[in-house]
Each structure stands twice: as structure tokens, then as C-alpha cells.
């Protein structure tokens, strides 16, 4: 008998994204992951205590990818537009993750490093409090995730409409959101 394959949190996370993308959210279970990794389900609990922690890892990975790709420009509109586009592309690459990101919070240790950049950018261009700025970022994140759910929510089934439809919907939704932010919070002065 060959030795059991070695697993770690990264291998578990990769397998989780594979299940989400290939079989959909409903198929995700510790047992399904164990089978995919060719280990017993109990082996997973050494690395991930439960399914809730697993879902948090998925949300954290998506958020970390978005944060890592934030545009270096500090102008608030470019920063938020860039965040929206990277989030959409990340969810497009992992369509099954949209259902997780829609309902799972991100760990503070993942998002807190981005807070100073976001706050300084938004304070420089808008009349917003820190709390308002963070709520606006969260609102945009939810908007884009909701659009991704409409487009990819039935993963692994393909989207119901052509990609151009969803591209237009995304562009209209994000540009309208950003115009609304500018109209309500004006330019800092």
C-alpha cells in the first residue's frame, strides 16, 4: 500500500476551488474534498477545523487577490474601479467562489492592510468619514459579487446570457455606483 498523500492547507484550498468551479457550491463538503485529495475526511480537520473555516479561506483568498492587485494610483475613483474589475476577474476565474464570497466575511487580517490606502485615497478626493468610506468599499464589493452571482451563480453551468451582456451590466452598474458616490460625497476641498 502506498503512503497517504501529504496534504496542507494550500492543497485543501486548491481542491476547494476545483470543487466549487467544477461541481458547484452544493457539492462542496469535507467528504468531497477528502475524496478529491485521496485522504480520509478526518485528515482535513487537522488543517481546517470545519466547513465554516474552509469557506472563510475561500473568501480570504479572493479578497487577498483583489487587495494584491489594487492599482497603485491613489485617486479614489481609479482605486474603486480597479478593485471592482479585479474582483470580477477573480470571480470569473473561479465562478464557483461567487456563492461563497456573497455570504462569507473576509478575515480582518486579510482586509486590514488595505484600509490605510483606501481611506487616504477616499479622504483625498471625497468628503467622507472613515466609516462611510469603508461602507462604500463594502457596498461596491457586494455589488460586484451580486453581479458575479447573476453571471456565475449556477457554476458549473455556463452563464445564461452572452458574456457581452454581463460586461455591459457590470460597466453600467459600477460606473453608476461611482457616479453616485461622487454626487453624494462631492470633491474634498
Instruction: Kindly report, residue by residue over 167-178, the tens digit of the pLDDT.
Output: 999 999 999 999
Using the predicted structure, report yes or no on whether residue 4 has a pLDDT greater than 80: no
Q: Where are the alpha helices (DSSP H) in 38-129?
A: 41-44, 51-68, 76-93, 98-101, 108-111, 115-125
Closest CA to 104 of 20, 167, 22: 20
pLDDT for the residue 3: 47
Residue 174 sits in a domain whose CATH number is 1.10.357.10
The angle at the Cα of 179, spanning 147 to 176, to the nearest 5 degrees, equals 30
Using the predicted structure, report yes or no on whether residue 2 has a pLDDT greater than 50: no
Q: Where are the alpha helices (DSSP H) in 24-50?
A: 30-37, 41-44
Residue 2 lies in a domain: no
Q: Do the Cβ atoms of 103 and 159 come closer than 8 Å?
A: no
Please state the domain count of the chain.
1
Using the predicted structure, report yes or no on whether residue 96 has a pLDDT greater than 90: yes
Provide the domain limits for residue 115. 9-185
The C-alpha cell 469603508 sits at: 134
Residue 33 lies in a domain: yes
Mean pLDDT of the chain: 92
pLDDT for the residue 7: 87
| Dihedral-angle region of residue 181 (phi above 0 means left; psi in -120 to 50 means alpha; beta otherwise) | alpha
Residue 4 lies in a domain: no
Instruction: Specify the range with the lowest mean pLDDT, choosing from 62-66, 69-73, 111-115, 119-123.
Output: 69-73
Read off the C-alpha cell for 184.
Answer: 453624494
Residue 82 lies in a domain: yes
Residue 142 lies in a domain: yes
Rounded percentage of the chain residues whose pLDDT exceeds 90: 85
Phi, psi for 41 (deg, rounded to 5): -55, -35
Distance CA 12, CA 92 (A): 21
Question: How does pLDDT run across 9-63, given as a tens digit for each residue?
Answer: 899 999 999 999 999 999 999 999 999 999 998 889 889 999 999 999 999 999 9
DSSP-derived letter for residue 154 is T
* Residues 96-103, mean pLDDT to the nearest whole number: 94
Residue 3 lies in a domain: no
Distance CA 83, CA 162 (A): 23
Residue 1 lies in a domain: no
Enter the pTM of the model. 0.91
Question: How does pLDDT run across 58-86, given as a tens digit for each residue?
Answer: 999 999 999 999 877 679 999 999 999 99
Amino acid at each position: 500500500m502506498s503512503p497517504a498523500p501529504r496534504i496542507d492547507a494550500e492543497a485543501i484550498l486548491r481542491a476547494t476551488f476545483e470543487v466549487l468551479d467544477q461541481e458547484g457550491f452544493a457539492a462542496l463538503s469535507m467528504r468531497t474534498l477528502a475524496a478529491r485529495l485521496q485522504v480520509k475526511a478526518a485528515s482535513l480537520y487537522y488543517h481546517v477545523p470545519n466547513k465554516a473555516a474552509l469557506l472563510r479561506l475561500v473568501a480570504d483568498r479572493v479578497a487577498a487577490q483583489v487587495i494584491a492587485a489594487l492599482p497603485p494610483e491613489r485617486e479614489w475613483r481609479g482605486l474603486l474601479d480597479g478593485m471592482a474589475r479585479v474582483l470580477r476577474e477573480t470571480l470569473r476565474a473561479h465562478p464557483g467562489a461567487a456563492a461563497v464570497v456573497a455570504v462569507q466575511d473576509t478575515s480582518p487580517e486579510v482586509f486590514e492592510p488595505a484600509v490605510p490606502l483606501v481611506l487616504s485615497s477616499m479622504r483625498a478626493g471625497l468628503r467622507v468619514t472613515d466609516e462611510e468610506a469603508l461602507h462604500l468599499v463594502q457596498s461596491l464589493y457586494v455589488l460586484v459579487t451580486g453581479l458575479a452571482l447573476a453571471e456565475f451563480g449556477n457554476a458549473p453551468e455556463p452563464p445564461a446570457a452572452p458574456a457581452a451582456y454581463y460586461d455591459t451590466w457590470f460597466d453600467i452598474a459600477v460606473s453608476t455606483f461611482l457616479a453616485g458616490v461622487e454626487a453624494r460625497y462631492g470633491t474634498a476641498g
